[in-house]
A and B are shown apart, each in its own frame.
Chain A
Amino acid sequence: MLNPDSVGSTFAGTDSITVSQSEIDAFCAVIGETDTSIAPPTFTIRITLTQFEEILTRPEIGLDWSRLVHGDQKFEIFSPVKAGDRLTCAATIESYRVAAGNEIVTVRSDLKREERLVISAWSTLVVRA
């Protein structure tokens, strides 16, 4: 079970992440995108989900990642991501509830480039009963 005291808390990601052209190329290839000069809209999920897993499974927070399904996802994009961007990620646990034994947690991630917000993304994650 998620520690309810963690709701409302913001956690900084461990390190900054530098986006590489080969990562963007690989993502574009999957969806058939030929313009690889910027990252596709959902590209940063590869950064944020990894960060969420690291943060939410910390012993003091306690989410069970093995029974997790993705409920919904939202992106607000202020500036497109490009190769060479150094991004920092902070995750905020915005809400948490238990319904029919399922834990439902909404986490927002803010990705910044040189202190400027690039993307905010919300993920609702469901830990199945």
Chain B
Amino acid sequence: MIEVGTVLDEKVFYLDRELLKQYADASGDQNPIHQNEEFALSVGLPNVIAHGMLTMALVGKYVSDFAGGSANVIEYSARFTKPVIVPAGEKVDLTVTGTVSEVGGNKVSLSLTATSAGVKVLGMAKAVVLK
């Protein structure tokens, strides 16, 4: 039963430098802050960071799974509050949870949270799906 307040199962994605390169190629966003540590440090970042849109794409997968497929996702938004930091040779977590915030007709609204290494990386993350 889906009702307001229903908490969805948590899912953990893992990101590494290889996935960032794969996303850069798939999205066309080749900004070096997502691939080149020396460059990332030179512009004041703590290390290579994941594309905000990669984080959003992974959380989008979580939403699609809940919705029974991408075709049922009709709204999706998020604010990029903190970067996902991806050091060389490491796999970092992206831990996603969701709560049903509204149910109306055939639409279900979700409030989403996403953290990496315990830090909240998305703010105001929301989706509306057809259910």
Listed stretches A56-64, A67-75, A91-99, A100-108; interface member: A67-75
Instruction: Give the residue among A31, A49, A78, A80 with the most B Cβ atoms within 10 A.
Output: A31
Chain B nearest CB from A118 CB (Å) reads 12
B27:A46 contact, CB within 8 angstroms: yes
Please, how many angstroms separate the alpha-carbon atoms of A45 and B76 in the complex? 13
**Chain B residue nearest to A40 in the complex (CB):** B70
Closest approach, in angstroms, between the C-beta of B100 and any C-beta of chain A?
A: 18
- Partner among A39, A41, A72, A76 whose Cβ is within 8 Å of the Cβ of B80: A72
> Judging by beta carbons under 8 Å apart, are A72 and B57 in contact?
no
Contact between B70 and A71, CB atoms less than 8 A apart: no
CA distance A35 to B72 in the complex (A): 13
Within 8 A of A (CB), among B9-64: 13, 19, 22-23, 25-29, 52-54, 56-58, 60-61, 63-64
Q: Which residue of the partner chain A has the closest CB to B83? A: A69
Contacts of A45 in B (CB 8 A): 27, 53
Tell me, yes or no, whether A42 is within 8 Å of chain B by CB: yes
* B2 lies within 8 A of chain A by Cβ: no
Q: Judging by beta carbons under 8 Å apart, are A31 and B74 in contact?
A: no
Asked whether B25 lies within 8 Å of A41 as measured between CB atoms, the reply is: no
Q: Which of B64-122 contact A (CB under 8 A)?
A: 64, 69-71, 73-80
Answer yes or no: A9 CB below 8 A from chain B CBs.
Answer: no
Q: In the complex, which of the residues B22, B53, B58, B70 has the most CB atoms of chain A within 10 Å of its own CB atom?
A: B70
Scan residues 20-65 of chain A and give those whose CB is less than 8 A from a CB of chain B: 23, 26-27, 29-33, 35, 38-42, 45-46, 49-50
Q: Which residues of the partner chain B approach A74 to less than 8 Å between Cβ atoms?
A: 75-78
Does B124 touch A at the CB level, under 8 Å? Answer: yes
Q: Give the distance in Å from the alpha carbon of A33 to the alpha carbon of B69 in the complex.
A: 9
Residue among A29, A35, A72 making CB contact with B124, cutoff 8 Å: A72
On whether the beta carbons of B26 and A75 are closer than 8 Å, the reply is: no
Complex Cα distance, B58 from A39, in Å, reads 13
Q: How far is the CB of A78 from chain B (nearest CB, A)?
A: 8
| A73 touching B75 in the complex, CB below 8 Å, given contacts A46-B28, A49-B29 | no
A-B pairs, top 6 by smallest CB distance, nearest first, are A74-B77, A72-B79, A26-B26, A31-B61, A41-B73, A41-B60
